[in-house]
Amino acid sequence: MMNVRARVLSFLLGGLIAMPWAVASAAWDVAVPESASSATVRLAAPDGTISDHPFQNARDVATLDPASLLGEARADGLYRYEVRFAQVLSAEQKAALVQSRQQGSSTPMDGQPEPLASVSGSFRIANGILVAADAGETRNASTVPKSSESPNDQVIADDLIVQGSICAGFDCVNNESFGFDTIRMKENNLRIKFEDTSVDAFPSDDWQLTANDNLSGGLIRFSIENITAARVPFTVEGSAPTNSLYLDSTGNVGLGTSTPALELHLNSADTPAMRLEQNNSGGFTPQTWDVAGNEANFFVRDVTNGSLLPFRIRPGAPTSSIDVAASGNVGIGIGTPQAKLHVNGDAYIAGTLTQLSSRSAKTNLVAVASDAVLDQLSRLPLWTWNYLSSDTQDRHIGPVAEDFYATFGFGTSAKQLAPSDVAGVALAASQALQREIAARDQTIAALEARLARLEEILMERETGESAAPAAQ
């Protein structure tokens, strides 16, 4: 893949707006991949504040004016940046990525492009003005007087044993005071390079130990660089605090501590956390999660969507507050859940409880004889009780599972009651009662009609008897 080399960040001085006469420049080199669609510049300010600056067109980064990122208020100190690029993907590639995610696969799909490499660096602001870094530092000349004749390099075709200290670099002097130093590198550009001359199938990448940038205002750092691959996999900044990274004799790794208690131990004065950030260099939608904990809670934070906290655990939560068994069953307050969701204790639902009841999810459908259910229900014992697991004296009413199972035979065992079974029995009994009521209503209506007719006949007779004497 061919890269377009761009000279990026031709800096105006920090005071350019306020002092148009104060002009200087600095530059960093950024390789803008041809397959990059957009870019994001992440800027870390001296106070640790992180800000992201998106560019819809990655090519715009090549002409970036950093003044637009810093604004007018420019705190003094070292600024670190990282430029990230997003992929240009075809519709087919996007569809394949979506399908891969839906299937839960983490295996790269066929033809998936490699994630685009990010580019990082730093610059420094002093007295509100950018420290120019357009020229690299050159090596100091030797301070030792030289003869007019150029001495030949010394080649030792044998083992070399130095029973003393060694100083290498242009700034080493005669009678160097070594102290306890066995090997000292001394000059203004310190590099130790490992140049591998292997051929054929042998690994041959060149590596380098680098101390500090060689640009004015650059980064104070110690880095391990892969010169061949043009990558810097490891860097320690000069201001990193003590025990930023500590590997003890057991293999435990401490971040912020020299006494790691576990394989990975994070120690911080305020909310130790771990960030999981997926960028868009591989074609996937960016998403950032934080996993953190403090005196208030352990939580998962959805940073991308407004720092929501979809998952929280408060200190003091009892064992097995949430327990997922090997079967996939989830226990709430129990370590041996017997169902997909097993709640040991009271359950409160501030909403609607919905149970799957579709005909398509059922088999062996048999019509219910409601009259028989009503007859059985009339013989079902009902009780009031307290739960042994409850720490309150709340009373409840209803059947016990043993009686319900013995009466109707519904459910999985004589120890549990399904609310749908109880509701089904109630519905069946209601239907039977409705039919009985309807039949009785018919009987009552017939009796009322008969009574009304009798009343009419009686009225007619009474009327006829009272009118008979007047007719004589």
Q: Domain-by-domain residue ranges, the chain?
A: 3-93+111-130, 166-240, 273-313, 319-354, 366-463
pLDDT at position 295, please? 93
Q: Coil, strand or helix: which one is 456? A: helix
- The neighbouring-strand residues paired with 36 are 87
DSSP for 352-365, please give it.
-------GGG--S-
Q: Tell me the mean pLDDT in the region 191-200.
A: 96
CA dist list (Å): 281 to 43, 184, 234, 278: 18, 42, 21, 9
Lowest mean pLDDT among 6-15, 194-203, 225-234: 6-15
pLDDT at position 191, please? 95
* 6 neighbors 111 (Cβ within 8 angstroms): no
pLDDT at position 121, please? 79
d(CA 54, CA 45): 17
For residues 38 and 10, which has the higher predicted lDDT (pLDDT)?
38
Mean of pLDDT over the chain: 84
pLDDT at position 146, please? 53
CATH number of 3-93+111-130: 2.60.40
Banded model confidence at residue 449, pLDDT cuts 50, 70, 90: very high
Banded model confidence at residue 141, pLDDT cuts 50, 70, 90: low
What's the predicted TM-score (pTM) here? 0.70
Helices (H) and strands (E) in the chain, counts: 5, 25
Q: Tell me the mean pLDDT in the region 360-375.
A: 91
d(CA 246, CA 265): 10
**Residue 455, pLDDT above cutoff 50:** yes
**Residue 381, pLDDT above cutoff 90:** yes
Q: Tell me the mean pLDDT in the region 355-369.
A: 91
Q: Coil, strand or helix: which one is 446? A: helix
